[in-house]
Structure 1
Amino acid sequence: MQHKRFGFGLATLAASALFVSGCSNATNESQSSASSTTSAAASASASPSAASSDAAHNDADVTFAQGMIPHHQQAIEMSDMLLGKQGVDPEVVSLANEIKNAQGPEI
């Protein structure tokens, strides 16, 4: 039974890692140059009022952000649970630490 719980925790930790990596700001060079070209063109044609409306947020944005807090806390809690165990593969320990380091600032 204990082995199944560890497997489930490991699978959940891996899924969280995939989610975090999917949400990262990392881009490859071609995406980066395409984005900067698009951003430069948009900046040149955008009016000041358009820029300020992009920065505004609404109640749905606030609700989403507040809902993400427990999600990030749970990722840290799962990582802590794993880090509290003995004999865990060093790569998994490294992943758990990466998740903690990424999720903390998100809260």
Structure 2
Amino acid sequence: MLVKINEVLGDAVRKQAKEESVKKWLGKLRDLACDVDFLLDEFQTEAFQRMLLQDGVDDAVDKSADSTAMSKVKEVNARLQDITLQIDQLGLKENSDVVSGR
């Protein structure tokens, strides 16, 4: 999914000025990227806390946190699938002008 999005990103950036739907799609993609970044920070913090408190963590609390994390991952994945499905609807084309993320 990410590869497909990356392949059409250049076309989307070019079209956003003329097509409001593409601009909204890019906004959804940006929002998702921010949410994924935040989620990764949460996972990193949780892993660090677990490392510090290895013996003091209750299994029930641990499982609850895992369930919450899994729910967040599923929600992000559903949004990513939705964004990917919209590529064809928006008529975005794969091209060699791939926009680098970093």
TM-score (norm 2): 0.43
TM-score after normalising by structure 1? 0.42
Larger C-alpha radius of gyration, 1 or 2?
Answer: 1
